[in-house]
Amino acid sequence: MNYKEILEQIQTEIHTQVNTGKVATYIPELAKIDAEKFGMNLYCINSGHYQFGDYSERFSIQSISKVFGLTLAMCIVEDNELFKRVDVEPSGDPFNSLVQLEYENGIPRNPFINAGALVVSDILISALDKPKQEFLDFIREIADEPTIDINPSVFESEKKFSHRNAALLNLMKSFGNINNPIEEVLDFYIFQCAVEMSCKELSTAFMIYANQGKKLITEKEILPSNKIKRINAIMQTCGFYDEAGEFTFRVGLPGKSGVGGGITAVHPGQYTVTVWSPPLNPKGNSELGMYALERLTTLTGLSIF
């Protein structure tokens, strides 16, 4: 497969695309990001990295962090304990919706909507001595990059605009599904969203999902392959909120998006790929990012379907 030529073609096409998306504005720090940024990094198990554009520039990973939170929780808590408190069904609702939670007794539909990630955060706080440090250490380890950190102004800014996430927590606490103080869970959740990584670093970190739970170079096992299979399944069915069906239809890979404009997708046994383009479609997923990934699976003729 000539991945170099395929990425060159995608790069050419990107320049001709009309982008109707809008950069996230719910916190001022994200609204400031240059809408023209575009980066893509493909990391193949057999042939290494291919990339173009702003692939080495760090951006706010936002909800992509939900995959790392779930993975860390699955490293330390038994699946039956974890999935008692958060389900694994697609929500069909926006990522920050409160509606379903009331009907479903405070059990979030899945770990990749905000409510689910807040429950996972609560579980991590109960299980870890220093949740923030251990969360960062985990990402640094799987990305092989000790300098990965949060953006403090995104963190501070999001803390001022977190009423809806606080509402989700309060509702779930009323159902007995949050054990720690609401302020503490909110603070840790916002910390995770504020992590910054580049397309290249995200593709490297996500290699554990393409390589049966093992890091690529050292083959060190982070999580057994049966648990990785479960995380990939949740990414496939729930990674794009109420657009998970559309992403599967157009791209055909498990993946996760964030309102910073990043998307990372996984082709198990083949590659990981990350795209970054800040303007989002109405469902909160990167418009050009989805286009680039659709072209990748079309031009390679490879997807998991």
Give the residue with the Cβ less far from ligand GLN, 193 or 266. Answer: 193
| Burial bucket for residue 197 (CB in 10 Å: 0-12, 13-18, 19+) | buried
In whole angstroms, the minimum distance from the beta carbon of 270 to ligand GLN comes to: 26
Structure tokens at 265: 């997708």
Distance CA 1, CA 212 (A): 22
In whole angstroms, the minimum distance from the beta carbon of 26 to ligand GLN comes to: 7
- Give residue number: closest CB to ligand GLN: 63
In whole angstroms, the minimum distance from the beta carbon of 260 to ligand GLN comes to: 7
Write out the DSSP string of 250-281. Answer: HT-S-EEE-TTSEEEEEETTTEEEEEE---B-
Beta-bridged to residue 259, according to DSSP, are none
Beta-bridged to residue 50, according to DSSP, are 42
Structure tokens at 186: 């909110």
Please give the residue ranges that form the binding site for ligand GLN (CB under 6 A): 62-63, 95-96, 114, 158, 165, 193, 258-259, 284
Give the residue with the Cβ less far from ligand GLN, 10 or 67. Answer: 67
In whole angstroms, the minimum distance from the beta carbon of 284 to ligand GLN comes to: 5
Structure tokens at 197: 């990584």
Give the residue with the Cβ less far from ligand GLN, 7 or 24. Answer: 24
Work out the end-to-end distance of the chain between its first and last CA atoms, rounded to an integer number of angstroms: 18
Host H or E run for residue 159: helix 152-160
In whole angstroms, the minimum distance from the beta carbon of 6 to ligand GLN comes to: 28
Give the residue with the Cβ less far from ligand GLN, 206 or 271. Answer: 206
Give the residue with the Cβ less far from ligand GLN, 192 or 248. Answer: 192
Distance CA 225, CA 269 (A): 12
Cα 156 off chain centre by = 20
Number of H helices and E strands in the chain, helices first, is 15, 8
Give the residue with the Cβ less far from ligand GLN, 158 or 287. Answer: 158
In whole angstroms, the minimum distance from the beta carbon of 195 to ligand GLN comes to: 11
In whole angstroms, the minimum distance from the beta carbon of 293 to ligand GLN comes to: 17
Beta-bridged to residue 255, according to DSSP, are 265
Give the residue with the Cβ less far from ligand GLN, 258 or 268. Answer: 258
Cα 109 off chain centre by = 16
Between the alpha carbon of residue 38 and those of residues 9, 103, 124, the distances in Å are: 14, 40, 33
Distance CA 73, CA 163 (A): 25
Give the residue with the Cβ less far from ligand GLN, 151 or 272. Answer: 151
Residue 60: name the closest of 209, 276, 234 by CA: 276
In whole angstroms, the minimum distance from the beta carbon of 69 to ligand GLN comes to: 12
